[in-house]
């Protein structure tokens, strides 16, 4: 039987191996100014006014973290892959922004007291989604929020919006689901479902 520590090691090795080519996807790298602007248009309405403390969990090469730091937010990125984080730090330095990057598991990140927990295409890959959501809610400061960019892809991977909304639902929490079906956000036509879910405490 595979033990949790072995699974973590395997996932880290997998994402370390992906780091060199991860930014080949336009929506991963966000190097195109128009694409950066489009993603800011998605995120600005669902985030508190800057400066707010944002934990970007499963941040990969740090493109969203850098984008938010440029707009005045206090951002900490967390990822299991040291090689992804090496690229994130280099990206932050190239953009002249101050963002922290920590090695850690997105499901149980080494942060507390944040205004926003942000993920992009992370929830579907978690071993125990309900437990991770409980943990993320516990990290939030009063009136904090989860901002979860997810999808259900043509491959069958992912998580449907209504399913995630049901998992997020809690007394006193409002949930909004907005489609992200503009192909310009992804740099290619879509044949699947993508969305942003916002859960406000």
Note the pLDDT of residue 81: 97
Note the pLDDT of residue 8: 78
Note the pLDDT of residue 2: 45
What is the pLDDT averaged over residues 141-154? Answer: 95
**What gap in Å lies between CA 74 and CA 55, rounded to an integer?**
9
Cβ proximity of 195 and 180 under 8 Å: yes
Q: Encode pLDDT of 67-84 as tens digits.
A: 999 999 999 999 999 999
Q: Encode pLDDT of 127-140 as tens digits.
A: 999 999 999 999 99
Q: Encode pLDDT of 25-46 as tens digits.
A: 989 999 999 999 999 999 999 9
Per-domain residue ranges for the chain?
A: 4-200
CATH number for the domain whose boundaries are 4-200? 3.40.50.150
Q: Kind of pairing, strands 114-120 and 100-103?
A: unpaired
51 cis-preceded (ω within 30 degrees of 0): yes
The mean predicted confidence, pLDDT, of the chain is 94
Q: In what order do the strands lie in the sheet with 100-103?
A: 100-103, 74-79, 53-57, 114-120, 140-152, 193-200, 174-179
Q: Encode pLDDT of 86-119 as tens digits.
A: 999 999 999 999 999 999 999 999 999 999 999 9
**2-11, 56-65, 125-134: the lowest-pLDDT one:** 2-11
pLDDT category, 144, cuts 50, 70, 90?
very high
Residues linked to residue 140 through DSSP beta bridges, in sequence order: 114
**What gap in Å lies between CA 47 and CA 140, rounded to an integer?**
13
């Amino acid at each position: 039987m595979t033990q949790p520590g072995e699974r973590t090691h395997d996932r880290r090795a997998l994402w370390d191996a992906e780091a060199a080519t991860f930014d080949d996807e336009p929506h991963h790298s966000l190097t195109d100014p128009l694409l950066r602007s489009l993603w800011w248009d998605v995120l600005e309405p669902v985030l508190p006014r800057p400066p707010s403390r944002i934990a970007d969990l499963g941040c990969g090469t740090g493109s969203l973290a850098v984008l938010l730091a440029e707009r005045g937010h206090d951002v900490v990125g967390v990822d299991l892959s040291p090689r992804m984080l090496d690229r994130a730090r280099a990206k932050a330095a190239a953009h002249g922004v101050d963002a922290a990057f920590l090695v850690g598991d997105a499901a149980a990140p080494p942060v507390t007291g944040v205004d926003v927990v942000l993920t992009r295409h992370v929830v579907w890959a978690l071993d125990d989604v309900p437990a991770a959501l409980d943990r993320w809610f516990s990290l939030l400061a009063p009136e904090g929020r989860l901002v979860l960019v997810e999808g259900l892809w043509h491959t069958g991977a992912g998580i449907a919006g209504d399913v995630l909304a049901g998992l997020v639902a809690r007394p006193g929490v409002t949930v909004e689901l907005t489609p992200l079906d503009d192909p310009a956000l992804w740099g290619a036509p879509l044949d699947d479902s993508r969305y942003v879910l916002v859960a406000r405490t």
